A = this chain, B = another copy of it.
């Protein structure tokens, strides 16, 4: 494997010559083989090891194992210990995504600090195939089937053309020791099912399956690059940037026979989920909005307007999705908390709602003619909002700027002023959803 590895480096990674390389070493089979290969080549290498502290003494054992190896072979080493679970909880991510973010952020820091040029990870051909199948299983687009990039900024993946079998054979032949890899624990079940139940059958149907899979990936990458070209050429004509937002010209868009394909490609980076609704948006009424986690797409006469959701001005609407924690509107900020304890005496800045009565996404907006609500403390009696404002001696300006949190068209909270009786939580409410004006 050393000779094909060298050939692969000189063909696809010629730019590495004379560079300093950080090797991401978990201690597992793949990374230990990568390390062994690089030790035999004339690169200045440094080991980076992440201790995610997810498996107690086993994780510490991995760290110890790598430290000893580095010392024995006098290779510089950097180790970082992460409180991965706490970070995952704080950043509301899965353990796997959290570990990934910690890992790559730290690698970039190390590269800067130690003035190294590239960071190599040990992803190989079987990883690529498993990722392909995982994405296929979950549902994906072309971007999910083109494989892990072999070179992406400072990250390089020089083992990608090599199979797990080839790596294992090399390790056995050279008596390389390794420890079981803990890094991809959270999708381990999925990977194991594919590794043991699916991939062997595919290989049995075509003994050179992994080779043809590599060709397939190459062809898919090529098609992706053509699709990207089309988007760049055609997209220029239908998409304009205006300040913080993008405008899609619906008339121009609909001249394209395959305009839905362009719409999908344009919007893909913004993680919209309601794909069917988006397809109908060019034909919808003006004013209709579709929300993604961070972005929104508004139909405004002949345009679709794409903007950050939290950049909404008074007079427009903002949405609160069920898993949002913050909503910025104009100069105000609302903090959103799920499953909180009931507080009998509340500040004006806090409203506790009965979550089961809310319809997400909630809407944050200013008042409309005809709005009414059932002010808390009035036993469910209806009151016109204009009357309420008048009674509370709001100025015209205060009235215009008063924010309302609504569920559908029903007012939940006149923000910072009065809650609505219909939505108010009581001591017996099982699920309390709290909105706080910061």
Contacts and interface: CB of A to CB of B under 8 A. Distances in A.
Contact of A140 (B140, B202, B219, B226): B219
A126 to B, nearest CB: 15
A13 B117 CA distance: 57
A204 B213 contact: no
A224 B223 contact: yes
A194 B202 CA distance: 8
Contacts of A240: none
Nearest to A221: B261
Copies in the complex: 2
Of the candidates A136, A221, A224, A264, the one having the most CB atoms from chain B within 10 angstroms of its own CB is A136
A190 interface: yes
B206 A264 contact: no
Interface string A174-197: 000000000000000010011001
B261 A223 contact: yes
Of the candidates A142, A206, A213, A275, the one having the most CB atoms from chain B within 10 angstroms of its own CB is A142
A304 to B, nearest CB: 17
A222 B261 contact: yes
Interface in A192-220: 193-194, 197-198, 201-202, 204-206, 209, 211-213, 215-216, 219-220
Given A202-B198, A229-B234, A234-B229, A209 B137 contact: yes
Contacts of A337: none
Category for how many chain A residues contact B: 35 or more
Interface string A156-178: 00000000000000000000000
B261 A225 contact: yes
Nearest to A206: B137
A216 to B, nearest CB: 5
A258 interface: yes
A227 B232 CA distance: 12
Contacts of A215: 139, 275
A393 to B, nearest CB: 55
A222 B258 contact: yes
A264 B193 contact: no
Contact of A216 (B141, B197, B205): B141
Nearest to A208: B139
27 contacts: A136-B202, A136-B213, A139-B211, A139-B215, A140-B216, A141-B216, A141-B219, A141-B223, A142-B219, A145-B145, A145-B220, A194-B201, A197-B198, A197-B201, A198-B198, A219-B264, A222-B264, A222-B265, A223-B223, A223-B265, A224-B227, A226-B226, A226-B227, A226-B261, A229-B233, A229-B234, A230-B233
Report, nearest first, the 3 A-B pairs whose CB atoms are least far apart.
Answer: A139-B212, A222-B261, A141-B219
Interface of A: 133, 136-142, 145, 190, 193-194, 197-198, 201-202, 204-206, 209, 211-213, 215-216, 219-227, 229-231, 233-234, 258, 260-262, 264-265, 275
